[in-house]
Structure 1
Amino acid sequence: MSKNPYIDADLEFLSETVEKFAQKYIAPGFLARDQSRIFDRDLMKMMGEMGFIAPELPEHYGGQDMGRLAAGVIHEAVAKYDLSFSYINLLASLNGQILAEHGDPEVVTPWLHKLTRGEALFAIGLTEPRGGSDAGSLRLKIERDGDEYVLNGEKTSISAADQADAAVIFGRTGSIESGAHGVTALLVPMDLPGISTTRFDCHGQRAIGRGSIFFENVRVPVNHRLGDENKGFVQVMQGFDFSRALIGLQVLAVARVSLDEAWAYAAEREAFGKPLTAFQGVSHPLADYETQVEAARLLCLQTLWLKDNHLPHTAEAGMCKWWGPKLAYDVVHQCLLTFGHAGYDRGVMEQRLRDILGFQIGDGTAQIMKTIIARHKAGRKAVPA
């Protein structure tokens, strides 16, 4: 019986099932995928066949109507064995929600079925060279031409930029002065003429990769619009509250397994005739982080529970996003130090540290998350942009 108030017996069984799958199929290629930087599409299809991708989507879109908590427990079980590979779940849930809630059913239904079957990988294109946090100042141009939109511009620091089959792209249809109220979102198949990509040499998350997407007179049918024209940012960005809670669980899963390994190592390793855990300088930092990881995970699960119950959760999602990645990085860093020279070698701990660091930068910085929290506590007028 689960001790967690948000995890019932069915969700606990689901988590155990996914973890067994991840141990058998995902864990063995953890280091190899980082070194080769090759994304395993066959493994993604296996996950889709098992129903492990975007299970929260309605059945008519290929999902299982299982709720956001189900997506969360699957997400953390996969991330525990490879954070970079768990981007499949993150991108599928974020983009899947956007398509299901804001897209033309005739257009998005085939894509959503591909997504849930593990046959299509989605990217989300928000960040541009001029900046990422100030999303209201986007410059990529989206111009109407009859029954089509024409895209010109660049998106950068995009996860899976060179591997995605389709992307949700945000661009400007209104004047630059209109800010967020002049932004439109489109579903863009990545094989359209005029699209090119590059890949960066990033510090971590190398299997999924990150890069730029260039659009040169790319024509997209008007029925591929997501939400209303000029309201894409205001409407579609609401889905990021969901993904921010998932990111918290994603990185905390890595922290959890690192702590488990550090405790086991410290209990077996001896110094001066005693196990390392007998020394408070070793055991107390781990105990501190043990406490914080448990608390942070509960916050993430609570946020998904609020989402499932249609209750406000924007502030909580912001807390998950800024606290989770920072805490997880600090935890893995401490665990690496606990292993001493063995942790400093290139290997599991080192890769985990690199992979987690990226989440303190992408998908909303800590400063932006704290501003969002402050606005919800003090009011937007009291915390202006």
Structure 2
Amino acid sequence: MDFLWTEEQLAIKESARRFAEEKLRPEYQANDDKHVFDRVMLKEMGELGLIGSELSEKYGGLGLGYVTAGLITEEISRADFNVAYVQILAGLNGGIIEKFAAPHLAQKWITKIISGEALVAIALTEPSVGSDAANLKLKAERKGDMFVLNGEKTSISAAAQADVAVVFARTGTPEEKARGVSAFLVELDDPNIERTHFDDIGESIVGRGSLFFDNVEVPAENILGEEGLGFIQVMQGFDYSRALIGLQCLAAAKVSVDETWEHVRTREAFGKKISKFEGVSFPLAEAETFIEAATLLCYKTLWLRDQGQPHTAEAAMCKWWAPKVSFEIIHNCLLAHGHGGYSKDYPIQQRLRDVLGLQIGDGTSQIQKIVIAREKIGRDGVPY
């Protein structure tokens, strides 16, 4: 692994930083009261190649690899944590569509996703199915050249605003568990799909919600991968998104630490700069250390993916550790700002609320630790 970025990577990193600082940072706090992404902004982001940069050039991507996508995610998240999630959704779902969709569907939707014209969601969680993801209830029944979907998905990121979703549904029997689950590419403007929006404490412009499917007809050609193997095939994409989520959270922590260093360098108490009190400066020094270590883990995971090497355990490490460390660091930064940190005038409290959601979403820390154990000692050594 080379710790020096290429000239091409540095150029797109700088492009992402410039866009983020000019277009995103000024709107981050104002967006806390909004529930949808600015579609004009997403198209600008797409024009710069900042959405799905790792996807194939034949669909409008840059084909730059997973490490480069991580660099973009970091820069975007430093300015607006939530807009960075667009890149993660595009990378995860775009990769699934590119690999498993019919060519004409891949051409249609990946092009729209990369350009910022369309927003894509992933619909896996159900009211009674979270971590036990293979125990899905939403049913997809074959009727001629169609599948008919009935059931509910919940806690779906961007549910109320996405244009299309990768939807997991049961095509087999409940006893088949994961091997009875298939994945479908579903357009969400169908009148038989009802959507709701949740009132959450963070990630406002991403939003969560439920999707209700009432006899929704989906062409059989929209199945992703093989029937009954969608869960097994498609879930491998989470090894990618988990590393990006780690970088997304760590970038929010890093910018909070940077702001806090500046605050303690200028704030005075008892006749001296509060940075001179070790109780203030030492936690920040520790935060810098944790951020550096966790960031390296995330980039190692992306590098392994670029090399075609196994990285499931590393991805799970990224997912449980980086959001936890980031939340704790941002919390400490808020405290270091004193009463000002508790005010909505400052963005630290918003980052704290935003980052918290990703200690749950995309797999809890407990599930990640089971994944790590399973990778190290095999399935016989873990409960499931």
Per the normalisation by structure 1, the TM-score is 0.98
Task: Give the secondary structure class of the aligned counterpart of 1:242.
Answer: helix
Q: Shift in Å at residue 136 of structure 1? A: 0.7
Q: Which runs of 5+ in 1 are unaligned?
A: none
Structure 2 distance, partners of 1:306, 1:6, is 16
Could you tell me whether the CA contact under 8 Å between 1:176 and 1:182 is conserved in 2?
yes
Counterpart of 1:245?
Answer: 243
The answer to whether the aligner puts 1:379 opposite 2:378 as a matched pair is yes
- Indicate yes or no: 2:367 matched with 1:351: no
Partner of 2:286: 288
Secondary structure, counterpart of 1:168 in structure 2: strand
Q: How does 1:57-68 map to 2 (within 5 A)?
A: 57-68=55-66
1:193 CA drift (Å): 3.1
Q: State the distance in 2 between where 1:373 and 1:300 align.
A: 15
1:204 maps to a residue whose letter is: G
Partner Cα distance (1:220, 1:26) in 2: 36
Q: Is the 8 A contact 1:19 1:77 kept in 2?
A: yes
Per-residue deviation, 1:197: 0.1
Assess if the C-alpha contact under 8 Å between 2:136 and 2:170 holds in 1: yes
Does 2:66 align with 1:56?
no
Equivalent position amino acid for 2:348 in 1 = M
Question: Partner residue of 1:262?
Answer: 260
**1:143 and 1:149 in contact (8 A); partners too:** yes
Deviation digits for residues 326-373 of structure 1, max 9, x if unmatched? Answer: 000001000001110110111301100000000011110000000000
SS of the residue 1:375 aligns to: helix
1:271 counterpart (248, 269, 272): 269
Instruction: Report the equivalent of 1:117.
Output: 115
Q: In 2, distance between residues paired with 1:35 and 1:340?
A: 24
- Calculate the aligned-residue CA RMSD, in Å: 1.2
Match of 2:138 among 130, 137, 140: 140
Q: Counterparts of 1:244 and 1:297 in 2: how far apart (Å)?
A: 12
Query: Could you tell me how far 1:4 is from its partner in structure 2?
Result: 7.1
Q: Tell me the residue number matched to 2:12.
A: 14
> Shift of residue 12 of structure 1?
2.5
**Secondary structure in structure 1 of the residue aligned to 2:63:** coil
Aligned to 1:44: 42
Contact 1:306 1:313 in 2 (8 A): yes
Where 1:332 maps in the other structure, the secondary structure is helix
Match of 1:319 among 317, 320, 326: 317
Name the residue aligned to 1:190. Answer: 188
- Distance in 1 of aligned mates of 2:218 and 2:35: 30
**Conserved? CA contact 1:53–1:117, under 8 Å:** yes
- Is 1:210 aligned to 2:211, yes or no? no
Q: Deviation per CA, 1:298-335, whole angstroms, max 9, x where unpaired?
A: 00001000000000000000000000100000010000
Structure 2: gaps of 5 or more residues: none
d(CA) in 2 for partners of 1:269 and 1:8? Answer: 39
Deviations 1:39-71 (A, max 9, x none): 211100000111110010111122111001111
Report how far residue 274 of structure 1 moved: 1.4
What letter matches 2:355 in structure 1? I
C-alpha distance in structure 2 between counterparts of 1:243 and 1:116, whole Å = 16
* Whole-angstrom CA distance in 1 between matches of 2:338 and 2:2: 33
Shift of 1:131: 2.1
- Residues in 2 aligned to 1:144 and 1:373: alpha-carbon distance in whole angstroms: 37
Give 1:369's aligned residue.
368
What residue number does 2:198 align with?
200
User: Conserved in 2, the CA contact under 8 Å of 1:148 and 1:221?
Assistant: yes
Q: Deviations 1:91-118 (Å, cap 9, x if unpaired)?
A: 1001000000111111221111001100
Determine the C-alpha separation between the residues in 2 that align with 1:179 and 1:227.
17
Matched, 1:337 2:326: no
Equivalent position of 2:167 in the other structure: 169
Aligned counterpart in structure 2 of residue 181 of structure 1, from 179, 182, 205: 179
| Aligned AA (1:43) | M
Q: Distance in 2 between matches of 1:120 and 1:198?
A: 19
Deviations 1:134-169 (A, max 9, x none): 011000000100100000000000000010000000
Using the size of structure 2 for normalisation, the TM-score is: 0.98
Aligned-partner Cα distance in 2 for 1:307–1:206: 31
Contact 2:164 2:186 in 1 (8 A): yes
Q: Is the 8 A contact 2:15 2:48 kept in 1?
A: no
Matches of 2:264 and 2:327, distance apart in 1: 19
Name the SS of the counterpart of 1:79 in structure 2: helix
